[in-house]
Amino acid sequence: MLRLVDGNMSTRSDRFGPYGFTSLDEALRWLDDESSFITAALRHAEGVDQGAVLNLLGALCDYCLLRGDLYRLGEINELAQAVDEGLLVRSVQWRTGIAARQLGELDTARTTLTSVVDLYREAQHGAGEARALTSLGITLHHQGNLTEASARLREALELQASDALATDRAWTMHALAAVERDRARLAEALELLTESLVLHRAGESLHGQAWAHFQLGQLHLRRGDVPRAEGELRTALDLYGRTRDARGEAWALTELARARLVDGDAGPAVEQLRSAAARHRDNEDARGEAWTLYYLGQALEESGDLDRAVRELERARTMFSRMRDVYGLACARHHSARVTRDQRAAQTGSLRNSGFARQLLVDARADFQRIGVAHGEAWTCLELAVVDAGNARTQQALALCDEAVALFASYGDRRGEDWARFLRCTLLPYAAPGGTEVGSAVAQQELTDLAAAPHPARDPELTDCVDACRLLLERGVTLEAGWQAWNLGLVPSRHAREVMGVPVPLDA
């Protein structure tokens, strides 16, 4: 079964040979029928070849993870502790750490997996150490600790350099690609996923292919390429179905719904996200549910239902906080602040009641800064600039725009940098040291320079905003009227932040 799910070269399958099951469906049906009997039989395995016991127990553990049968996994863990076979205990503890991560118990997962890495290292078991490092890296990613996650996953890759560990290496590569995607290193993420998929296919790992296609779908959504994203996600959904991975299916449905949102089709996205959230709850996948609620909040915002949007974003924020996912928490704070700000502004007609939203943005920026996510920090700076400008703190807003320009430039996001430079231009007449006339003249020149330097990553909405702002400046600006960009809609939308304007070699 493991050979069919994880690949015929995987150290997890231990190369079971030619006498196994002829199809994945047959293997899964057999385990459905026999897993209770196997668990009971393993309690009386004295005198049986320990290699056979370990292989059978490992297959049963992975079946429990695939099926979400975490109660039985706990039983097996107790059994392994009672037998006290070193390799057996390490193998089961590794899966127990993965199970804790799936339940959203990220601190427990991190502690368990760190311990397992040390145990394998002490036993000089390189393949096991690498697998545990990969699982630890994924857990650190889920906690938003992207720098350390990348380091642990690269350690695992070094240990998996041999041809014998090619399929294990493929799993590590697509996990690393997910981390680098969130760090805005899209070109490296694409390269890792492309090679990962080749290795998964060579190893005949359907499950590995599913996750690689899923990650490719997420990567294309980051680029705003919805057709390619949907193609990859549908392939992933089909493969998850063939391996009967209910968790994977729920994640693919979440991302397919998110693709509708990125494509501007918010109505269907709302219903699809609600359905996906229910699936995540059935699977006891807290992290999957939290991210789905986060996207549901955005879809409701896009549909104009700001009250419910705030409620769903706050639910996501609470869940991320509970599981100590700093990255998810920062994202939820950012968008909850945006919607709360817009909700209050719609009620009062101005941005002057944005104190709570501003505090959420300050907290989100601190989170993004701490975990080294320049993309999130830069967009949070722009949202803070909007709040400050709307409260007549134009000098502070201008400084935030300058910080955002530097942050976008640090990882090559030309789309975000465009918006930061544009927003800066809307503020110059009110904040330039030389006064309104000088500020207006500088803004006009910078807008001309911006319009004269188009590029493929530019947000189409920006071009219209540039033209409107130039017309506004030509008519003349008065300090008494105050900053007008918000009232005129000359600020980046929620959709502007969705796409990273980072160059990616798509022929890779």
The alpha carbon of 202 is separated from its chain's Cα centroid by a whole number of angstroms, namely: 27
What is the per-residue pLDDT for 22? Answer: 55
Among the ranges given (86-100, 153-167, 243-257), the one the predictor scored with the smallest mean pLDDT: 86-100
Top pLDDT among 114 and 6 is at: 114
What is the per-residue pLDDT for 76? Answer: 66
What is the per-residue pLDDT for 69? Answer: 64
Contact 386, 400 (CB under 8 A): no
Average of per-residue pLDDT across 375-397? 96
Among the ranges given (77-91, 279-293, 334-348, 479-493), the one the predictor scored with the smallest mean pLDDT: 77-91
Alpha-carbon distance of 396 to 426, in angstroms, equals 14
Contact 195, 173 (CB under 8 A): yes
> With left for phi above 0 and alpha for psi between -120 and 50, is residue 50 left, alpha or beta?
alpha
Say yes or no to pLDDT of 289 above 60.
yes
pLDDT tens digits, residue range 79-121? Answer: 665 555 555 677 777 877 887 888 888 999 999 999 999 988 9
Q: Report the length, in residues, of the chain.
A: 508
Top pLDDT among 109 and 36 is at: 109
Top pLDDT among 255 and 508 is at: 255
Say yes or no to pLDDT of 358 above 60.
yes
At residue 9 the predicted structure's pLDDT band, cuts being 50, 70 and 90, is: very low
Would you call 443 exposed, middle or buried from its count of C-beta atoms within 10 A (0-12, 13-18, 19+)? buried
Among the ranges given (7-11, 103-107, 469-473, 497-501), the one the predictor scored with the smallest mean pLDDT: 7-11
At residue 151 the predicted structure's pLDDT band, cuts being 50, 70 and 90, is: very high
Alpha-carbon distance of 348 to 396, in angstroms, equals 23
What is the per-residue pLDDT for 467? Answer: 94
Say yes or no to pLDDT of 263 above 60.
yes
What is the per-residue pLDDT for 477? Answer: 82
Alpha-carbon distance of 449 to 222, in angstroms, equals 27
What is the dihedral sign for C-alpha 341, 344, 348, 353? negative
What is the per-residue pLDDT for 36? Answer: 64
Would you call 390 exposed, middle or buried from its count of C-beta atoms within 10 A (0-12, 13-18, 19+)? buried
170, 234, 494, 428 alpha-carbon torsion, rounded to 10°: 60
pLDDT tens digits, residue range 122-134? Answer: 988 898 899 999 9
What is the per-residue pLDDT for 395? Answer: 94
Contacts of 302 (CB under 8 A, 6+ apart): 261, 264, 266, 269, 494
The alpha carbon of 429 is separated from its chain's Cα centroid by a whole number of angstroms, namely: 39
Alpha-carbon distance of 216 to 476, in angstroms, equals 48
Q: Which helix (H) or strand (E) holds 38?
A: helix 24-42
What is the per-residue pLDDT for 75? Answer: 64
Say yes or no to pLDDT of 74 above 50.
yes
Say yes or no to pLDDT of 399 above 60.
yes
What is the per-residue pLDDT for 93? Answer: 78
Top pLDDT among 508 and 503 is at: 503
Q: What percent of the chain has pLDDT over 90?
A: 69
Alpha-carbon distance of 309 to 240, in angstroms, equals 30
At residue 17 the predicted structure's pLDDT band, cuts being 50, 70 and 90, is: very low
What is the per-residue pLDDT for 77? Answer: 62
Say yes or no to pLDDT of 20 above 60.
no
What is the per-residue pLDDT for 104? Answer: 84
What is the per-residue pLDDT for 369? Answer: 96
Would you call 36 exposed, middle or buried from its count of C-beta atoms within 10 A (0-12, 13-18, 19+)? exposed
Alpha-carbon distance of 130 to 153, in angstroms, equals 8
